Amino acid sequence: MLEATHTRYLSQLVGEDNFYIDPAHLQAYAYDATRERYLPDGVIFPRHEEDVCQILAYCNEHKIIIVPRGAGSGFTGGALSAHGGLVLSLEKHLDQILEIDEKNLIARVQPGVINKHFQNEVEKRGLFYPPDPASQDQSTLGGNVSENAGGMRAAKYGITKDYVMALRAVLPNGDVIRAGKKTIKDVAGFNVAGILIASEGCLAVITEITLKLLAKPKLKQSAMGVFASIQDAMEAVYKSMASGVTPVAMEFLDNLSIRAVEQRFCKGLPMEAGAILITQVDGSVPEQITWQLTQIEKHFRENGCVDFCVAQDAQQEEDLWFARRNASQSISIYGKKKLNEDVTVPRASLPALLQEVERISQTYDLPIPCFGHTGDGNVHVNIMLEDPDTQLEKGQQAMEEIFKSAIALGGTLSGEHGIGLSKAKFMPLAFTPEEMGLFRRIKSAFDPNNILNPFKMGL
């Protein structure tokens, strides 16, 4: 609980409307998409960067924990105040698009800007910001940077880190730093922006982001391939992409996911299929689109595709993507609680990873529907628990085995959700003691008093 002197200072600093300590207001900031709940001691809404500086300087002096928060849409507890302290919420005031520079193809934004709102604004000008996390309608760009968010278009266009050119950030002692430049090339000094990306709010509070933009593609088209087995589909993914075609997206659903979507929504999906692959290509002229889809169909059919259909209009395209967009909510038919994690392996290792997931599912007698971004090797594994009270420990053991399998295949614990609280204990599986020690020294260099989002990522 915050001392009275602290509450008075903070309330006076930002105004009573921007500082809450009453439980009714705190409840809304006690959870994120993990559905775990940790009540903070207070929530504060900085009005501008100077507020952030003063808040951090004061909290650093008095050893008050600060937990930066965007929209709270994360899946790993990165924005939860698990050890009390003050939630620093950036979505209320720091939510402006500061500049869209059409000559240099860049934009400057504050961290509270919603991803989809930003995409819409730049597309009005014929420009394009590719990173499209599934939470794009709610998640903030500051949160996207802090978690290095991905999305379906990552197969061709990459992820958030590929579009961050520069950052302004406030260190825990209240100092402001600039990391990076607007220039395309910049090799002066350490890559501090690269360290802050994916740092999950543990090193500094981002107050401004400079993002790279692209010209918006003129044309796009989607298609779906149906496969008898998940292994055929995974083989088709990396062989298609090794052929020279780089689709915008290459998404998959396994049989359990297909059945769940069909049971919930009756969309006419092939319920006996082992897997479906949904892909999209883009380009500037129709010939580019035709060539890419022809090549994809060729390699799909050479690797077990039993049916291939191309969307002929916007409605058909929407119908093709409906299953992928609604897979996560649909698989709730398999259990009351979902252990939802995202692991990533090199594309060529996808068949081996899915074989391991099937083995683990049988070993623990738990359904594990899978779907995700096979174009970049990122798979969402969902361990479903019908009775969480009795199955939770078994489910967690199964998840640890999946993590170990991904790492053994040259993969990683997370492709886009981050580590936060939920994966913190698994960090030693992926990193050596020397590497973990280096992470802790970096954390200490930025935040010697350990006030900024402490204990996340196993630090």
CA-closest candidate to residue 132, choices 147, 111, 149: 149
pLDDT exceeds cutoff 90 at 379: yes
Across the range 412-420, mean pLDDT stands at 94
Torsion of CA 394, 396, 402, 406, to 10 degrees: -160
Q: Which of 328, 80, 277, 115 is nearest to 209 (CA)?
A: 115
**Range 2-25 average pLDDT:** 96
CA dihedral sign, ordered 208, 214, 219, 220: negative
Q: How does the average pLDDT of the chain come out, rounded?
A: 96
Tell me how many degrees the CA angle 112-117-120 measures, rounded to the nearest 5: 150
pLDDT of residue 238: 85
pLDDT at 1 over 90: no
What was the pLDDT predicted at 122? 98
pLDDT, mean of residues 343-366: 96
Give me the pLDDT at residue 447, please: 98
- What is the spatial distance between Cα 310 and Cα 84, in angstroms, rounded to a whole number? 52
Per-residue pLDDT, 423: 94
The dihedral through the CA atoms of 139, 141, 145, 146 has a sign that is negative
- CB burial of residue 222 (10 Å; 0-12, 13-18, 19+): buried
DSSP assignment, residue 136? Answer: T
How does DSSP classify residue 152? T
pLDDT in tens, 190-202: 999 999 999 999 9
Over residues 88-126, the pLDDT tens digits come to 999 999 999 999 999 999 999 999 999 999 999 999 999
0.75 surpassed by pTM: yes
What pLDDT does residue 242 have?
87
Report the residue count for the chain. Answer: 459
The dihedral built from the CA positions of residue 379, 380, 386 and 387, taken in this order, carries a sign that is positive
Confidence class of residue 35 from pLDDT cuts 50, 70 and 90?
confident
CB half-sphere exposure, 18, CA atoms < 13 A: 21
- The tens digit of pLDDT for each residue in 74-90 reads 999 999 999 999 999 99
d(CA 421, CA 458): 8
Residue 10 pLDDT class (50, 70, 90 cuts):
very high
**Positive or negative torsion for Cα 323, 144, 424, 80:** negative
At residue 417 the predicted structure's pLDDT band, cuts being 50, 70 and 90, is: very high
Confidence tier at 243 by pLDDT (50, 70, 90): confident
Identify the CA nearest to 230 among candidates 256, 249, 269, 265. Answer: 256
pLDDT tens across 381-406, in order?
999 999 999 999 999 999 999 999 99
User: For the sheet containing 305-310, what is the strand order?
Assistant: 305-310, 219-227, 275-283, 249-254, 370-373, 378-385, 337-344
- At residue 414 the predicted structure's pLDDT band, cuts being 50, 70 and 90, is very high
Q: Which amino acid is at 133?
A: P
Distance CA 12, CA 262 (A): 55
- DSSP of 57-79: HHHHHHT--EEEESSS--SS-TT
Q: Tell me if 342 sits within 8 A of 375, measured CB to CB.
A: no
Question: Average pLDDT in the 400-428 region?
Answer: 95
> Does the structure show a pLDDT above 90 at 230?
yes
Give tens-digit pLDDT for 11-22: 999 999 999 999
Report d(CA 199, CA 203) in Å as an integer: 6
